[in-house]
């Protein structure tokens, strides 16, 4: 009986550890794709914005890796019909992603993500359990978001994009933020 209880505790600990590392427990992964202006865009939108979409979680693939790969794949045909467009260039390749103490470090190669794609990476990754910040690197150098002096910002959070015109509509909380039409 004592061995059976010990086995149950070990099994529970293993399943909790897997869930915390994106290895299970969640049935979907939320990514943020660009949705454009115009008649194909969402009602009331006044600027292209990031919009959350769900993807079914793939077994054996960590949530952070899946989120980035889903951004590369882009919108489904149905999403394209609703005004979504490619967010992360197919020329941007994922080399690795690691999570340490709440920060996801993403190593990329190829085409540097533009502002919308960089923000999509930040929103998608910080939406995962336990991830609060993102460090982006291109060809082993910090990249993708810069200060006015041209220095790469080494760690990005959702707060880095507060009030920005591409900020997801549902996350805008201040009356001074750029508004989506109601």
Q: What is the mean pLDDT of each run of 10 residues along the chain (182 residues)?
A: 41 36 65 77 69 93 95 94 89 96 97 96 96 97 95 95 79 66 54
Residue 119 has a CB neighbour count (10 Å cut-off) of 26
pLDDT for res 132? 97
Predicted pLDDT of residue 163: 78
Residue 47 to residues 38, 41, 61, 120: CA-CA distances in angstroms?
9, 9, 34, 15
CB 106 within 8 A of CB 121: yes
Give the tens place of pLDDT for each residue, 47-98: 788 999 999 999 999 999 999 999 999 999 999 988 889 999 999 999 999 9
Give the count of beta carbons closer than 10 Å to the beta carbon of residue 173: 9
Is 0.95 topped by the overall pTM? Answer: no
Residue pair 12/24 in contact (Cβ under 8 Å)? The answer is: no
Within 8 A by CB and 6+ apart from 21, the residues are 62, 99
Q: Which of 75, 101, 105 is nearest to 90 (CA)?
A: 75
| Tokens of residue 153, six digits | 């910002």
Looking at residue 96, what is its pLDDT? 97
**Any alpha helices (H) in the chain, and if so which ranges?**
2-20, 63-73, 77-81, 115-126
At 41 the pLDDT is 57
In terms of Cα–Cα distance, which of 125, 121, 112 is closest to 29?
125
> Under DSSP, is residue 112 helix (H, G, I), strand (E, B) or coil?
coil
Residue 4: the pLDDT is 39
Of 71, 70, 33, nearest to 52 by C-alpha is 33
Residues 77 and 28 sit within 8 Å (Cβ to Cβ):
no
99: β partners: 104
* Residue of 157, 99, 150 lying closest to 123 (CA atoms): 157
């Amino acid at each position: 009986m004592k061995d059976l209880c010990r086995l149950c505790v070990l099994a529970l600990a293993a399943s909790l550890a897997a869930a915390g590392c994106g290895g299970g427990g969640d049935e979907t992964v939320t990514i943020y794709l660009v949705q454009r202006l115009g008649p194909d865009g969402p009602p009331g939108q006044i600027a292209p914005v990031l919009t959350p979409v769900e993807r079914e979680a793939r077994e054996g693939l960590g949530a952070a890796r899946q989120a980035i790969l889903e951004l590369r794949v882009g919108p489904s045909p149905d999403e394209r019909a609703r005004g979504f467009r490619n967010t992360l260039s197919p020329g941007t390749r994922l080399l690795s992603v690691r999570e340490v103490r709440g920060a996801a470090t993403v190593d990329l190669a190829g085409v540097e993500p533009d502002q919308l794609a960089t923000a999509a990476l930040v929103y998608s990754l910080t939406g995962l359990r336990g991830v609060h910040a993102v460090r982006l690197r291109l060809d082993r150098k910090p990249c993708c978001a810069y200060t006015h002096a041209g220095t790469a910002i080494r760690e990005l959070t959702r707060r880095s994009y507060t009030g920005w015109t591409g900020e997801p509509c549902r996350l805008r909380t201040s009356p001074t933020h750029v508004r989506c039409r109601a």
